[in-house]
Amino acid sequence: VGCWRTFSYSLALNMIGPVLILSLFVAAAASGQGYLISQEEFSAIQGVESGGCRDPLTAVGDSGTSIGPYQITRGYFSDAASFNPSLLNGGNTWESTKGPGSLEFSQMVMQSYSNRYCTEARLGREPTFDDFARMHNGGPNGHRNPNTLEYLERVKSFLNEEQQLYTGSADCSQAPQMEQENHGSRNQGMNVLLLFILVLLVTFAAVS
C-alpha cells in the first residue's frame, strides 16, 4: 500500500506541471494578442485625429468628450483599462491621454484596446490595421460599420510618411474651437438650407 501511495503521489506531481502549462497556453490563446500597431500606424491615426492642431497633445474635441493626440474618449479608455488594469498604475486616468507624456501612454491604451477587440479569436480571421483603425473610430464593431470607411481612407493617406507627430496651426486646446472646426461644413449646409427655405417663402408670397 505504501509503495502504491508513493507511486500515486509521484504520478500526480509529474502530471501537474504539464497540465498547468497546458492551462496557461489555452488561457493565453483564448485571450489572444490583438493587432500589433506599428509606430507608423500610430502616427497615421494621430495625423487624422489631431494633425491640424498646433499642440496635438492638448487637443480637445467633440465638446470635450475626446481628448489628446488620438482623441480618446472616456468609454474607450475604460474598455482598455478594464482589460489591462496596469494602465491605471501610478494614478493614471482617462485625463492622462491628454497633455505631457500622453503620446506614449495613449499608445499603450490603444494597444490594450486592440488586444481586447481586434483579435483573431473575435474576428474569426487574422486582424489587420484596417480593422483596428475602423474600431478606433467606430468602436468594437467599427470594422463592420460602413461609416468608418472614409475615416480609414484618411488614415491611409498619412501612411508611409516619416513623421512621428503631425502638427498644424489650429488652437485645439478648447472644446468650442475644436467643435467649430469639426462641424463647420455642417453649419454651412444649414445656412444653405435656410436660404433655400427663405427663397421658397418669398416666391410663394409673390405668387399669392
Active-site annotation holds for 62:
yes
Round to whole Å and give the CA distance between 47 and 59. Answer: 12
Round to whole Å and give the CA distance between 43 and 159. Answer: 8
Residue 53 main-chain phi, psi, to 5 deg: -95, 145
Nine cell digits for residue 95: 485625463
Among 62, 120, 171, 179, which one carries the catalytic annotation?
A: 62
Give just the sign of the alpha carbon dihedral 180, 186, 190, 195: positive
Among 41, 49, 79, 131, which one carries the catalytic annotation?
A: 49
Q: Where are the extended beta strands (E) located within the chain?
A: 60-61, 66-67, 72-73
Active site residues: 49, 62
